[in-house]
Amino acid sequence: MKINILTLIAFVALTMTFTSCEDDPIRGCTDPEAENYDALSVEDDGNCTFTRDKFLGSYLGNLACPGALAPISNDAFAFTISESVSGGINEVGVLLENLGVTINGTVNGSVISLNSVVPGYPFDANGDGVPDLNADLEVTGSATLSADETTMTGQLDIVAKSSDSGATLGTDSCSMDGVKQ
């Protein structure tokens, strides 16, 4: 009887030794579209980072429009970049806070490309500082994030068209820059 108990204890100890030697699953980012994708990972650790993530945040800088849209120029220009509501991995929304409009963008590497139409923007057609009609703003352009991810510089090309007639009210090529806050 003593031998059977000792044999049983030895068998249990041996079984526990072999089952505890299994490799733990490799944890990491399992999304192939993430910058830190790890092809060897079999279990997601919840820490995937995407190209757009380095752009997200609030910026303060300036917007300089030298032509027809000079009234929207601002030395305290604020904009916030957030994840796009459409949910695309490299898509962002850029809220131009001083103008009260959001434009859509797509991130590729350290460049964000912008392309949106903003309908019904209150527009000052006669330059007296008071909006007197609605304009549809066609906004295109791009901006580059610095290597240290603290500053952004770029250009916005804006065409303002009357919401009613479609007539062009003004066009401008505006430079913009901002420091991440």
| pLDDT tens digits, 65-92 | 999 888 888 999 999 999 988 878 889 9
| Alpha-carbon 17 to chain mean position | 49
Under DSSP, is residue 7 helix (H, G, I), strand (E, B) or coil?
helix
Arithmetic mean of pLDDT over the chain: 88
- pLDDT value for 95: 95
CATH number for region 51-180: 2.40.128
Q: CA 128, CA 118: separation in Å to the nearest integer?
A: 22
List the chain domain ranges: 2-44, 51-180
Which pTM value belongs to this model? 0.76
**Confidence band for 124, pLDDT divided at 50, 70 and 90:** confident
Under DSSP, is residue 91 helix (H, G, I), strand (E, B) or coil?
strand
- Is the pLDDT reported for residue 132 higher than 60? yes
